[in-house]
């Protein structure tokens, strides 16, 4: 295992504390896939499926050889992953595909997909002897880091854009005891500041710029494939914000392909909110990357200058994938459908489902395709968005599928009338 620059290819030892190459670009962990070929098989992972043994009971560490082959004594695990893959017929009908699965990452210990990358990130922090960790966040990374740091006995410092994260997420950061800095700016300002501070003080940076976060995050793809009995779907569709998750997904799939655990490459569709769509603009117009000033109800992906855009593009191209954008109305309509199916997810997660509907309409995803949408966070993360949608109080958004509460007198007669 080594660290390699994604741009100039320079190598660094894995125990170097660094997030960027001297040339300024991002680093990634490179595994020796050649030697892994003879060492692991589908059976290795299938045999661990029913185990209660630490750390293989985790949906991340089950794939340890492909993630971080380190001494188990350092591992900080909840255990995370092992989230459900729902076959979602009704939602499938609504978007126009026959085979739709929803991978619910909101079922992780802190209710978002971030726990997969955080178990590896905090494990490395502990192994390297750090006493403090920090991240900038739109709320889920900070919730996850705060929880894992608390479990590991490490001090957590989170940078969040003031007034711009969902309440459930702010509550988690405070509750788990993180020092919570509400920055008077947006996520991109917070990200910029936290990277500088971590460079100056002895604090370990746990945003997805950290290559070890990406390693844990790869396990979403591994787990979906294993749940599908290693049958490769036609599409993976997921939201894009800071663009770590899709970079991780494509990296993991590429490794599986190189090792020979899958023989076909699924296509990846990254969906951005229209108001926070720098990757989409670059993709669509075939221009160079330009940050945007982000505006969206999906606060989790309210990011204008995503750190991992280069990794993201590289993975999308490798998978013959696409980038799409969706409007606020499309996000909230999709959310209402996911919620009403009894599954539920936060707004940003539902970019996936809204994106599939749009890609079916434009003929890119076909009716017969097997499609996996990743739901990145729990419905309960953002109760304000839910309640205000059903009360018809979201500015500029029609509550197409509203389920309004009914105010009623405390009498049997009034109730009978209402139920009629
Ligand atoms: N969905 C949710 C619920 C998220 O919290 C995020 C990112 C994304 C999608 C986008 O994933 O950044 O890997 O492209 N949340 C980060 C955070 C930025 O700070 O919690 P991405």
Distance (Å) from CA 208 to ligand 1 centroid: 10
Mean pLDDT of the chain: 97
Starting at the edge strand found earlier in the chain, the sheet holding 179-183 runs 179-183, 155-161, 132-136, 204-205
Q: Which residues pair with 161 in a beta bridge?
A: 183
Check residue 76 and give its pLDDT. Answer: 98
Contact predicate 271/277, CB 8 Å:
no
The closest-lying atom of ligand 1 relative to the alpha carbon of residue 139 is 20
Helices (H) and strands (E) in the chain, counts: 17, 13
The closest-lying atom of ligand 1 relative to the alpha carbon of residue 208 is 13
Contact predicate 146/176, CB 8 Å:
yes
Ligand 1 atom 4, closest CA: 300
Check residue 368 and give its pLDDT. Answer: 98
Distance (Å) from CA 137 to ligand 1 centroid: 8
pLDDT digits (tens, 9 = 90+) for 180-210: 999 999 999 999 999 999 999 999 999 999 9
Distance (Å) from CA 253 to ligand 1 centroid: 20
Distance (Å) from CA 8 to ligand 1 centroid: 27
Domains and CATH numbers, the chain: 1-30 (no CATH), 85-111+214-391 (3.40.50.1100)
Distance (Å) from CA 244 to ligand 1 centroid: 8
Element (H, E) at 246: helix 244-259
Strand residue runs (E) in 78-225: 85-87, 99-104, 132-136, 155-161, 179-183, 204-205
pLDDT digits (tens, 9 = 90+) for 326-362: 999 999 999 999 999 999 999 999 999 999 999 999 9
Cα-based angle 280, 286, 290 (whole degrees, multiple of 5):
60
User: If pLDDT is split at 50, 70 and 90, which confidence band does 168 have?
Assistant: very high
User: If pLDDT is split at 50, 70 and 90, which confidence band does 131 have?
Assistant: very high
Q: Which residues line ligand 1 (CB under 6 A)?
A: 112, 114, 137-141, 208, 239-245, 300-301, 346, 348-349, 376-377
Ligand 1 atom 6, closest CA: 300
Helices (H), 33-111: 33-39, 42-47, 64-67, 89-95
Check residue 46 and give its pLDDT. Answer: 98
Crossing angle (nearest 10°) for helices 244-259 and 309-318: 40
pLDDT digits (tens, 9 = 90+) for 368-419: 999 999 999 999 999 999 999 999 999 999 999 999 999 999 999 999 999 9
Distance (Å) from CA 379 to ligand 1 centroid: 14
Ligand 1 pocket test: pick from 111, 242, 273 the residue with the most ligand atoms within 8 Å of its Cβ.
242
Rounded distance between C-alpha atoms, residue 147 and residue 125, angstroms: 14
- Secondary structure of residue 357 in the 3-state scheme: helix
pLDDT digits (tens, 9 = 90+) for 213-256: 999 999 999 999 999 999 999 999 999 999 999 999 999 999 99
Ligand 1 atom 15, closest CA: 300
Contacts 24+ apart (CB under 8 A), 281-289: 282/309, 282/313, 283/313, 283/316, 283/322, 283/323, 284/323
The closest-lying atom of ligand 1 relative to the alpha carbon of residue 238 is 9
User: Pairing relation of β-strands 322-326 and 267-273?
Assistant: parallel
pLDDT digits (tens, 9 = 90+) for 87-117: 999 999 999 999 999 999 999 999 999 999 9
pLDDT value at 164 more than 90: no
Distance (Å) from CA 241 to ligand 1 centroid: 5
């Amino acid at each position: 295992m080594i660290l390699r620059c994604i741009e100039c290819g320079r190598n660094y030892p894995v125990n170097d504390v660094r997030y960027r190459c001297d040339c300024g670009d991002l680093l990634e962990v490179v595994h020796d896939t050649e030697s892994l070929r003879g060492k692991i098989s589908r059976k290795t992972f299938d045999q661990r499926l029913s185990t209660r043994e630490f750390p293989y009971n985790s949906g991340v560490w089950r794939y340890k050889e492909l993630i971080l082959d380190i001494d188990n004594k350092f591992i900080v695990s909840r255990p995370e992953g092992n989230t459900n893959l729902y076959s979602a017929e009704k939602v499938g009908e609504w978007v126009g595909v026959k085979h739709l699965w929803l991978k619910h990452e909101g079922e992780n210990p802190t209710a978002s997909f971030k726990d997969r990358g955080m178990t590896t990130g905090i494990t490395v922090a502990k192994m390297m002897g750090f006493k403090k960790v920090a991240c900038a966040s739109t709320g889920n990374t900070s919730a996850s880091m705060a929880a894992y740091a608390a479990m590991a006995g490490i001090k957590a410092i989170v940078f969040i854009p003031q007034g711009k994260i969902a309440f459930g997420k702010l509550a988690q950061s405070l509750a788990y005891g993180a020092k919570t800095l509400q920055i008077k700016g947006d996520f991109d300002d917070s990200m910029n500041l936290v990277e500088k501070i971590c460079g100056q003080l002895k604090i370990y940076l746990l945003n997805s710029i950290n290559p070890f976060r990406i390693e844990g995050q790869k396990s979403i793809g591994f787990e979906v494939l294993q749940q599908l009995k290693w049958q490769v779907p036609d599409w993976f569709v997921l939201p894009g914000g800071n663009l770590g998750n899709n970079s991780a997904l494509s990296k993991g799939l590429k490794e599986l392909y190189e090792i020979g655990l899958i023989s076909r490459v699924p296509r990846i569709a990254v969906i951005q909110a229209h108001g926070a769509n720098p990757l989409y603009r670059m993709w669509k117009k075939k221009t160079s990357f330009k940050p945007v000033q982000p505006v969206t109800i999906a606060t989790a992906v309210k990011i204008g200058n995503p750190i991992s855009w280069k990794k993201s593009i590289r993975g999308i191209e490798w998978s013959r994938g696409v980038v799409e954008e969706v409007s606020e109305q499309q996000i909230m309509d999709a959310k209402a459908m996911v919620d009403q199916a009894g599954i539920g997810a936060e707004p940003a997660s539902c970019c996936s489902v809204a994106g599939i509907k749009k890609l079916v309409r434009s003929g890119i995803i076909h009716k017969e395709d097997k499609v996996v949408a990743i739901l990145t966070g729990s419905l309960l993360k953002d109760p304000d968005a839910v309640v205000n949608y059903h009360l018809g109080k979201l500015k500029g958004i029609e509550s197409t599928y509203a389920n309004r509460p009914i105010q009623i007198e405390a009498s049997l007669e009034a109730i009978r009338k209402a139920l009629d």
